[in-house]
Amino acid sequence: MNILEGHGLTKAFGGRVAVDNVDFTLAEGEILGLIGPNGAGKTTLFNLISGALSIDAGTVTLTDSDAGTRRVSGLKPHKICHLGIARTFQAAKNFPGMSLYDNILSSAQFGNKHISDKDAKAKTDKVIEFTGLEPLMDKSVKDIPLAGQKRLEVARALATNPSILLLDEVMAGLNPSEVEESMRLVTKINESGITIIMIEHVMKAIMSICGRILVLHHGQKLAEGSPEEISSDKSVIEVYLGG
Ligand SMILES: Nc1ncnc2c1ncn2[C@@H]1O[C@H](COP(=O)(O)OP(=O)(O)OP(=O)(O)O)[C@@H](O)[C@H]1O
Ligand SMILES: [Mg+2]
C-alpha cells in the first residue's frame, strides 16, 4: 500500500524551478533513497512534503488504515507532524544551549498532541535508549560532536512518533565507522515499523539499505528503480554517479 504520494509537485524560487512537476510514491515499510547532484531539489521536496514551504502546484496525500487517504499539502508543518510525518534538517535545527535530553523532550511535547508531561518524559527516555544516546543525554548540545548531533536530529524526529520519517543527509560529515553506526540505526528504525525517505550523498549507505531509489536532477525526476537499476543507469552515471 502506498502511504504517501506526491503528484505534480512544483516549487519555484524567483525564476528558478527547484522542484519541477515531480510525482512520487512511498510504499508502507520501505526505505526510499532520494539522490541527485547538489541543488537538484531534494531538500526542497522534503520542505514541500513537511509543509516547511508552500507548494506552487501539486498535491501530497497521506493514507493510513484508520483515516483513509487525505491531502496533507496546504496544512501547517505542526499539523503534518501530528499526522505522523517527521523530518530532520540538513543543517541541524536543535537548541544548542539546552541539554540533549531537553531537546528530545521538547520534540516529544511539540510533536504529540495533548501529551502529558509524564508521557513526554517516558517517550524521551524510550527514544534516548533506542538511539543509544544515554551517554550524552545531560550534555549541552553545543558540546556534542557532529555524530551525536546528527543522531540527536534523528532522535528528535522519532520523539514525535512518526509513521514516516524524512532523513536529510544524516550521514554527511561522518567518518566511515560513524556511517556504519548510522546505517544500523536507520535500519533499526525501519524494522520498528517506520517508513523512510532518505536523502544522502553517501552512496554506500544508499545502495545497501534502500529498497528503491529516486534520482532528481534540475528539479525533475531523472530515474527511479532498484539500487542495481540506478547504479547501472547511464543518465544517472552521467549526471551524478560518475564513472
Ligand atoms: N528558500 C530558498 N530560497 C531560494 N532558493 C532556494 C531556497 N531553497 C532552495 N533554493 C534553491 O533551490 C534549488 C534546490 O535546492 P535544494 O536545497 O532543494 O537542493 P538539494 O538537492 O537539497 O542540494 P544539496 O545536495 O546541496 O543539499 C537550489 O538552486 C537552491 O539554491
Ligand atoms: Mg539538500
Give residue limits of the domains in the chain.
1-84+163-243, 88-161
What atom in ligand 1 is closest to the CA of residue 169?
Answer: 27
Q: Does 22 contact ligand 1 (Cβ within 6 A)?
A: no
Superfamily grouping for domain 1-84+163-243: P-loop containing nucleotide triphosphate hydrolases (3.40.50.300)
| pLDDT tens, per residue, the chain with 243 residues | 999 999 999 999 998 999 999 999 999 999 999 999 999 999 999 999 999 999 999 999 999 888 899 999 999 999 999 999 999 999 888 899 999 999 999 999 999 989 999 999 999 999 999 999 999 999 999 999 999 999 999 999 999 999 999 999 999 999 999 999 999 999 999 999 999 999 999 999 999 999 999 999 999 999 999 999 999 999 999 999 885
Q: Does 220 contact ligand 1 (Cβ within 6 A)?
A: no
The residue whose C-alpha atom lies closest to atom 9 belonging to ligand 1 is 44
Q: Does 9 contact ligand 1 (Cβ within 6 A)?
A: no
The residue whose C-alpha atom lies closest to atom 12 belonging to ligand 1 is 18
Q: Does 204 contact ligand 1 (Cβ within 6 A)?
A: no
Neighbours of ion ligand 2 (CB under 5 A): 42-43, 90
Q: If DSSP codes are grouped into helix, strand and coil, which group holds residue 233? A: coil
Phi, psi (deg, nearest 5) at residue 109: -70, -40
Surface-to-core class of residue 91, CB atoms within 10 Å of its CB (0-12 exposed, 13-18 middle, 19+ buried): exposed
Ligand nearest to the CA of 34: 1
Q: Ligand 1 centre from 44 Cα, in Å? A: 6
pTM of this prediction?
A: 0.96
Q: Does 44 contact ligand 1 (Cβ within 6 A)?
A: yes
Q: Does 192 contact ligand 1 (Cβ within 6 A)?
A: no
